[in-house]
Amino acid sequence: MSTEISKYIDALTQYVEVEGIKYAYRSLGKQSGTPLLCLQHFTGTLDNWDPIIINGLAGERPVITIDNAGIGNSGGTTPDNVQDMAKTAIKIISALGIKKCDMLGYSLGGFIAQTIAATKPDLLRKIMLVGTAPQGTKALHSFPQLVEKAFQQEGIEVYLYIFATKSEKSRSLVTATFMRLMERKEDRDKDTGMPSIQAQISALTRWGTDTVTIKLSDIKQPVMIVQGSNDEMMDSDTSLQLFKQIPNALLFYYPDSAHGSFFQYPEMFVKEAGRFLDYFE
């Protein structure tokens, strides 16, 4: 990349090859400084990042969004467990020539970020965990039922069922985010297919039922945790558990919000993330 791209909508999808498989990613922002790698939520592709958030973060640092195996335009098969997703993410980041990065893990992406922090800590400088939960979170035992209910909704209601609360304010803010996700018309990612969705459902559910192997108290990096007041999927209270176990963590709860916490307050999140990434030790 020779010219600086400041807006996510202008960042063309690129590909990086790992072990014969091509993975999709987009890159933008400042060309110097620690890059921020963004790991996406359940079913989400490169097109599910709020452009206000990505553009805001890219104003001060390189930002790279990636599709894991079998997601969007990435090749490969989506694994049914977080550990293999983390291994793939590490390989993609390495293939991009990155030795050290910051990481934004959203939801399922937050599980992957926690796993990378435990298995390859030298890769990470700072970590942001949004709308996520620790291993062993009981609320995830009923994740398949929650998804089934969401998929019974129609149109944007599928999205609102997970990402918004029932209040008009929350629904309207998350609807605005959804509209921003639709602004990109060209070079869009493929929607996530049913086999990948099924594999992700297994991975998310297992995160709740597997034996806890990650020792959060060993995480040496500064960690910023963001959660909504009413995230049924992750159980909002589990973010306080993450905070209590990670030695050097900041925790932010946003009001009247579900799984789409930072989608409701994108400018505030950008400011908090910027301060965390640039100043917090």
Taking each helix axis from N to C end, the angle separating 168-181 and 51-58, rounded to the nearest 10 degrees, works out to 70
Identify the burial level of 136 via C-beta atoms within 10 angstroms of its C-beta, where 0-12 means exposed, 13-18 middle and 19 or more buried: middle
Residues 197-236, mask of contacts with a copy of itself (x by CB under 8 A): --------------------------------x-------
Q: Which is nearer to a copy of itself, 15 or 280 (CB)?
A: 280
Q: Which stretch binds a copy of itself (CB under 8 A): 6-14, 34-42, 209-217, 252-260?
A: 252-260
* Distance in Å, CB of 250 to a copy of itself, minimum: 6
Residue 218 has phi, psi (to 5 degrees) of -90, -5
Is 263 an interacting residue with respect to a copy of itself (CB under 8 A)?
no
Say how many Å lie between the first and final Cα of the chain, rounded. 30
The SS3 assignment for 79 reads coil
Angle at 243 between CA 240 and CA 247, to 5 degrees: 155
Is 166 an interacting residue with respect to a copy of itself (CB under 8 A)?
no
Is 248 an interacting residue with respect to a copy of itself (CB under 8 A)?
yes
How many C-beta atoms surround the C-beta of residue 133 within 10 A?
28
How many residues make contact with a copy of itself (CB under 8 A)? 22
Residue 23 belongs to what H/E stretch? strand 21-29
Helical H segments across the chain, by residue range: 51-58, 82-95, 108-119, 143-151, 156-163, 168-181, 194-209, 238-245, 261-264, 266-279
Token reading at 188: 């869009």
Is 252 an interacting residue with respect to a copy of itself (CB under 8 A)?
yes
Is 247 an interacting residue with respect to a copy of itself (CB under 8 A)?
yes
Distance CA 171, CA 257 (A): 9
Find the binder of a copy of itself among 161, 207, 243, 269 (CB under 8 A). 243
Residue 98 has phi, psi (to 5 degrees) of -95, 125
Q: Which is nearer to a copy of itself, 9 or 176 (CB)?
A: 176
Find the binder of a copy of itself among 251, 262, 269, 278 (CB under 8 A). 251
Residues 69-108, mask of contacts with a copy of itself (x by CB under 8 A): ----------------------------------------
Distance CA 52, CA 143 (A): 29
The SS3 assignment for 204 reads helix
* Distance in Å, CB of 243 to a copy of itself, minimum: 6
Is 255 an interacting residue with respect to a copy of itself (CB under 8 A)?
yes
Find the binder of a copy of itself among 237, 258, 259, 264 (CB under 8 A). 237
Applying CB under 8 A, which residues contact a copy of itself?
A: 229, 237, 240, 243-244, 247-256, 267-268, 271-272, 275, 279-280
